[in-house]
Amino acid sequence: MVYARSLVFVLLSAVAGGYAPSLAAEDTALAAVDVSEFVRRDTFKNIKISPTGEYLAATVPRDDHTGLVIISRATGKSTAAFSLGKNTHVEQFTWVNDDRVLMSMSEASGERAEPRLTGELFAVDADGDRLVNLVGYRVEGDSTGSRIRRREAERVAAYLVDDLPNDDQHVIVAIWPFTEEPFARAERMDVYTGRRSTVARVPVERATFTTDNQGVVRFARGTGVDNFSKLYYRAEERDEWRLVNDESQTGQFEFVLGFSPDDQLAYLQTEYPEGPDGVVAFDVGTGERKPVFRDDDVDPWRVIRETGASHAPVGLALMDGTPRTVFFDDAAAEARLQRTLEAAFEGQAVLVTSTTKDGGLSLVQVSADTNAGDFFLFDRETMGASRVISRREWLWPEDMATMEPIRLEARDGLELDGYLTRPRGAPEGRLPLVVLPHGGPFGVFDTWSFSDEVQLLARAGYAVLQVNFRGSGNRGRAFYQAGARQWGLAMQDDVTDATRWAIEQGIADPERICIYGASYGAYAALVGAAREPDLYQCAAGYVGVYDLQRMYRDDSRRGKSSVTWLNDWLGDEDSLAGRSATDMADRIKVPVFLAAGGEDEVAPVEHTEAMAAALQRAEVPVETLIYPTEGHGFYDEQRRIEYYTRLLDFLARHLGGARAKAAGGGE
């Protein structure tokens, strides 16, 4: 249950000693790359200050799980530590009162797997006392140690709705029974005993809830087997629910961002038939909607909330090439603070992650394309900021490559965006290029942020091209839905068009281009090499899906809503014939490198084995790296080092970039 002492000491020494970066390295554009610098785990993931400012709580990643550590600010010593077993992560955590933390858990079968909330809630005091498994499927088990109090097991999942700032003993949670199409209910839960009482039931499956500033559940949003969203509202706790938006009728998806301080307005993020999402103010008395904000290009990315008891939405962060913020009222205290911090940390993204109850101290995250993240403690009285810790103090930002936002036009006129990263100090002229389509694919999008993989490739001397093809998020409903049933078709054309754009712009050497990706990106890499045999000199796929009919059959077993989703977004099983990468192996004319994990639950290893066999039958040169005990992305640091060493060697042989340093420091 408790973290290894060495890992806790790494975090504590960083907190106590401040920022101690390594000396900036000399310009070594084509020198051998120290892969270990880029695969090494962050010192921590997220960190929050307690309401009194007495403690810091932080999530700390290890090879195959993530735990939580609580630190006294006065002593710099750990007062509590918690973790579970393999593939389990403290995904979210909240200070629910001055000295108690509530944690929600997730599971992920590999580094690239999207963490899935398990519905388990744990709570612990800041001094490590009263550690309780409040709700969850393993509530009867003792795998986490005898200190965890046992409770009666239930076949339900729980998700935090409201931490009730004015109630130190209770929170509001959503409870989902373990059924295929669960009807959720909202319950008030004691954070010490786990006892619960129902406060809301709703007439829609898989509901999420929104409370007002008094902790009353006022909105519920859910979806049935048709996967259309329905939004319900009620004025009081005992009132009947009324439907205020049905996606199947309006053609738009709406969800609640929060209430105004007086609870008279609810802020909704709303889709439109064309263009990005906007924010509207919904008058709960009259039902009238009034526009509050809508950007010309991008969706709201993150909500900025009032730091007082109401947590009312006061502004938005947008990912518009680089991050920027907008406020509903520029005179608001949060707006003034944000502008002050942005001026102090010019050129970086600034996020206030937590604030003490009296508003005196705020924990501020500062990050950029070249910076994995620093945390500062900001004192509002002195207007001064002191560094607390850096996620990766061994990486010097001045050594990293910068990301340049790009825009281009697809062959059918659709505007695409993305990023180009050139090696630091790259000479003028054309460069070897790695095209890196993202995974997902739907709703996911590349952002201006630190990426260890992009930085590794740039350090090896490659320009890196990322494009948000149709179906990606952040560009509104029409752009998102333009990717429906377009695996291997228009989505693939977008990646091809971006590659040709890089050639036309004089960025890429047309004789030195490789396409590489993970998960869906691996599919796009192999299909790209098949459809454009003269465009790429090599292709690489990591934990990929390559057989779409196999994917359809596997995913359709998860329930009726999964079948609906597959038909709507992937296509029915018959339509997938000929669109699998495995069906196109004989069209690939360039060398291929494939890597996978034998325990991958997202893209089972059979996909990679089938792809490799199809390439071998077509006499295409193929190299493989399969670890039987890894999942959807490799957790083990030494295996990650071996994987990226193999990848850099593969790219070097076909594009001419740098290789990895040998374990002893040589090439």
pLDDT tens digits along 195-210: 999 999 998 888 999 9
**Whether pLDDT at 144 is above 50:** no
**Whether pLDDT at 9 is above 50:** no
pLDDT in tens, 115-128: 888 899 999 999 99
Residue 542 lies in a domain: yes
99 contacts 192 by C-beta, under 8 angstroms: no
CATH no. for residue 474?
A: 3.40.50.1820
Cα(70)–Cα(623) distance, rounded to whole angstroms? 45
Cα(521)–Cα(441) distance, rounded to whole angstroms? 8
Confidence of residue 1 (pLDDT cuts 50, 70, 90): very low
Residue 4 lies in a domain: no
Percent of the chain scoring above 70 in pLDDT: 92
Cα(645)–Cα(249) distance, rounded to whole angstroms? 52
Written as one string, the DSSP assignment of 7-64 is HHHHHHHHHHH---PPPPPP--TTSPB-THHHHSPPS-S-EEE-TTSSEEEEEEE-SS
Percent of the chain scoring above 90 in pLDDT: 74
Cα(49)–Cα(73) distance, rounded to whole angstroms? 9
| Edge-to-edge strands, sheet with 170-177 | 156-162, 170-177, 183-190, 196-205
Confidence of residue 326 (pLDDT cuts 50, 70, 90): very high
Residue 364 lies in a domain: no
Residue 237 lies in a domain: yes
368 phi and psi angles, rounded to 5 deg:
-160, 180
Tokens of 185: 């209910």
Task: Please state, rounded to an integer, the average pLDDT across all residues of the chain.
Answer: 90
Residue 235 lies in a domain: yes
User: How many domains are there within the chain?
Assistant: 2
Contacts of 533 (CB under 8 A, 6+ apart): 587, 588, 589, 590
490 contacts 412 by C-beta, under 8 angstroms: yes
Q: Which range, of 151-165, 205-219, 566-580, 605-619, averages the lowest pLDDT?
A: 151-165
Residue 297 lies in a domain: no
In this prediction, residue 607 carries a pLDDT of 97
Q: Is 382 exposed, middle or buried (0-12, 13-18, 19+ CB in 10 A)?
A: exposed
Q: For residue 3, how far is the Cα from the chain centroid?
A: 24
pLDDT in tens, 341-375: 999 999 999 999 999 998 899 999 999 999 999 99
Residue 70 lies in a domain: no
Task: Average the pLDDT over 437-463 and give the result.
Answer: 97
**Whether pLDDT at 19 is above 90:** no
Confidence of residue 139 (pLDDT cuts 50, 70, 90): low
**Whether pLDDT at 559 is above 80:** no
Range of the domain at 491: 401-630
Cα(536)–Cα(495) distance, rounded to whole angstroms? 12
Residue 428 lies in a domain: yes
In this prediction, residue 664 carries a pLDDT of 52
Q: Which pTM does this prediction carry?
A: 0.90
Cα(447)–Cα(301) distance, rounded to whole angstroms? 11
Q: Show which of 251, 278, 308 is a domain's final residue.
A: 251
